[in-house]
Amino acid sequence: MINKSVVVAHISDLHFAGRNDRRSISMLGRMLEHLAERRVDHLVITGDLCNAAAVGEWAVMRDVLRDFGFWSWEQTTVLPGNHDLINLEEEMRIYNALNPFSESRRTVLQERVAAFCSMFGELMADGSDGGAGFPFVKVLRFSSLSLAFVAVNSVWPWHRSENPLGARGFVDPSELKALLRLDVAEALKGCFVVGLCHHALRVYGTLSPIDQAFDWTMELINRDEYVAVMKAIRANVVLHGHFHRFQAYELEGIAVVNGGSFRYVPDRYSEMVIGERGEFSQRFVDLPSARK
């Protein structure tokens, strides 16, 4: 048992399909009620809030979080996934598929990132630095410890050959460089550090050609560089989603937790309990009476 602890709940990949997706909305409400009853200190959602990169679908998530008391900087942290920023159906239309200028897709992605930050900025930035953006560092001061979330955007623009499903990830080198600044090191001093990224750091990783092909479509292309930065900032754990499996594993000495998919298993979440001396435990929790 860890005394004077901080509890962090983690879910991912909700894939909401708009306001008519009543089942998912209801299940999320049930989850949030449970977390409130458990007096969870913070909720992290690691992307793919919706399914079609639509602002209206983001708004559903915003409204549900507000309705259940989870719309505050202190209570919740959110970052986008590829489905929040890339509308695959739109990207694959012939006028995009045959467009030789890949920079235009990057511009579209940047605009969607800006729109996402505009809607969810209250959960990302504290207002002291002029607004939300990536990367961001969010430090929460509890009576027993300081908890820092270090978030990057890992969504990479769609490309007909390099990213045909829009699911491969890449963290812009400028974001990684920014996290190595001295002011970031100063902000993280004495904190329990949690890295946040949508894309998985491990998918199948087998020698099977089928698995390897799937891995290629889902991979975080510059994973090694990202992990190196997480080690440099002394991250204790990294939370991610994207690969729809609940997983806890270790990568180069860093604990990693995959929050699975709320869309397919809406009655399970990851719970991390952090003690005042930096010790922590993690488990996957099923909602009461959800499983027989």
Cβ proximity of 83 and 52 under 8 Å: yes
Integer angstrom CA distances of residue 116 from 89, 109, 166: 19, 10, 17
Q: What is the mean pLDDT of residues 59-81?
A: 96
Cα dihedral 154, 159, 161, 166 sign: positive
pLDDT tens-digit map of 188-227: 999 999 999 999 999 887 778 888 888 889 999 999 999 9
34-46 pLDDT, tens digit per residue, is: 999 999 999 999 9
Per the structure block, which two tokens stand in for 28? 């999320």
Question: Please, which residues bridge with residue 11 across strands?
Answer: 45
Q: What is the distance between the alpha carbons of residues 276 and 267, in angstroms, rounded to a whole number? A: 29
Question: Using CA atoms, how far apart are residues 122 and 101, in angstroms rounded to an integer?
Answer: 34
Structural domains of the chain ordered from first start: 6-286 (3.60.21.10)
Output the pTM of the full model. Answer: 0.93
Read off the pLDDT of residues 135-181 as tens digits, 9 standing for 90 and up. Answer: 999 999 999 999 999 999 999 998 888 998 999 999 999 999 999 99
